[in-house]
Chain A
Amino acid sequence: MSAATPSTAIASEPTWQLLQGVILGNHCEPVLMAPRTPEPVRSAPAR
């Protein structure tokens, strides 16, 4: 092997093929809503 032309042969798969996997995806997750609280029913004050 010549020092001037080393044969490193790194990454045979095109980098784009690898990169697109990590760049293209994104996530979506549930954001929960609590059930609405019913308004408290108050009885009228006793006279």
Chain B
Amino acid sequence: MSETTADWAFTATVVSRAERALATGDLRRAERLLAAATDRLPRLPLPEQVQALQLQAIVLMELAEHVAAEGVLRQLLDLLDSADAPIDDGPERLTETLTALGTVLRLQARYQWADRVLRDAAAAAADPAVSPQARLAVLNASAVVCKDTGSFERAEQLYQEVLDGFTELDGPSCDAVAATCHNLAGLSHARAQYAEAEPWARRAVEIRLRGHAPDDPRVLADQVVLAAVLVGQGREREAEPLYATALSAYELHFGPGHYEVAVCHNGLAACRVAADDPDGALRHLREALQIKRAVLGSTHPEIGVLLNNMGVALRSLRRDAEAAAVHQEAVPLLAAALPSDHPTLTSCRQNLAEARAARRWLVDERP
């Protein structure tokens, strides 16, 4: 066997093992295997290189390692751009890669770049060789950017198109329909229309449970959205067990420092505030902050949301000066990423004003 053939065989074996590790949920093992294969990848034929790099990007995205995923996706784009060796399903791969890149940019709150890349994805998807599923995924990724940046009506139009498209293509009970229902619940949640969000969230859970085990991360993600919708309606007692179950399962599945674990801690904090247990809420929020700062950096708008929630818990403890300080820290993080009339920013500004007023009132009333 020549050295090159041995290289190919070795790399193919490693990548197949990584794929199996991903299928069984062992993301860290998949990541290690793919990282080990990286040096030898350039010796593989182009289609196999593309496939291996896409697999690596998926693993990194599942691990919420957005910066590393971005690097791999850019490497993929360079490969797909190399005009000397086009691959058969190039337009499909290009569309998928740009959609994934737009998504990781959005997850880093780099919304303008996300929007620009997703426009390129839409242009790539216009190629007749691209599947309708890949085209709908571009629309979905664009809709999430619209939702995150407060363009709710545009997001709704896009999601509706995605929902109709997937229903027609793969039937009303496919995973993509469940994911779109999940996203429609998230959109109504962002608009503070919690009662409207609930049927979407429940439909997502119901569809997912038909095809996946209750501890599958996709089922858990839908239940976490349902929990957030219940919190919005003041039904924290129903939400808390959903968050607690998801937290334990995510810790087992991904490890205690994963982004999804932080999302559950924030939800549990909201439940603890409602149960008049602000100390319990602060413990969850500190955990969430530590994880999200490590995953997203210290200036991400989601850090602003956590600081806002921490301020509200501190207000419950009458620690108004500390509450005002954390709200003040939160506002610029949200203002840097969101439009000035975004509901989250408006809420945080109002909380800051309230905390300052409460602090002033206490100072004024001192004997």
Contact = CB atoms under 8 A, between A and B. Distances in A.
Interface of A: 1-3, 6-13, 15-16, 18-37, 40
B54 A15 contact: yes
Contacts of B179: 20, 24-25
A19 B19 CA distance: 13
Q: Which of A15, A19, A21, A26 is the most central at the interface, judged by chain B CB atoms within 10 Å of its CB?
A: A26
Chain B interface mostly helix, strand, loop or mixed? helix
B158 interface: no
B300 interface: no
Which of under 10, 10 to 19, 20 to 34, or 35 or more describes the interface residues of B?
Answer: 35 or more
A24 B1 CA distance: 43
Contacts, number: 161
A3 B263 contact: no
A21 B9 CA distance: 29
30 contacts: A3-B2, A6-B5, A6-B44, A6-B45, A8-B12, A10-B51, A11-B19, A15-B55, A15-B96, A16-B133, A20-B175, A23-B100, A23-B141, A24-B137, A24-B176, A25-B182, A26-B186, A28-B189, A28-B225, A29-B305, A30-B232, A30-B266, A30-B309, A31-B347, A32-B308, A32-B309, A32-B313, A37-B357, A37-B358, A37-B361
Nearest to A16: B133
B328 interface: no
Contacts of A7: 12
Contacts of B355: 34
Nearest to B175: A20
A5 B106 CA distance: 39
Contacts of B189: 28
Contact of B16 (A2, A10, A20, A29): A10
B270 A32 contact: yes
A3 B43 CA distance: 11
Contacts of B313: 32
B357 to A, nearest CB: 5
A6 B58 contact: no
Nearest to A22: B61
Interface of B: 1-2, 4-5, 8-9, 11-12, 15-16, 19, 22-23, 44-45, 48, 51-52, 54-55, 58, 61-62, 93, 96, 99-100, 103, 131, 133-134, 137, 140-141, 144, 147-148, 175-176, 179-180, 182-183, 185-186, 189-190, 218, 221, 224-225, 228-229, 231-232, 263, 266-267, 270, 273, 302, 305, 308-309, 311-313, 315, 323, 343-344, 347-348, 350-351, 354-355, 357-358, 361, 364-365
Nearest to B60: A22
A8 B131 CA distance: 24
Contacts of B308: 31-32
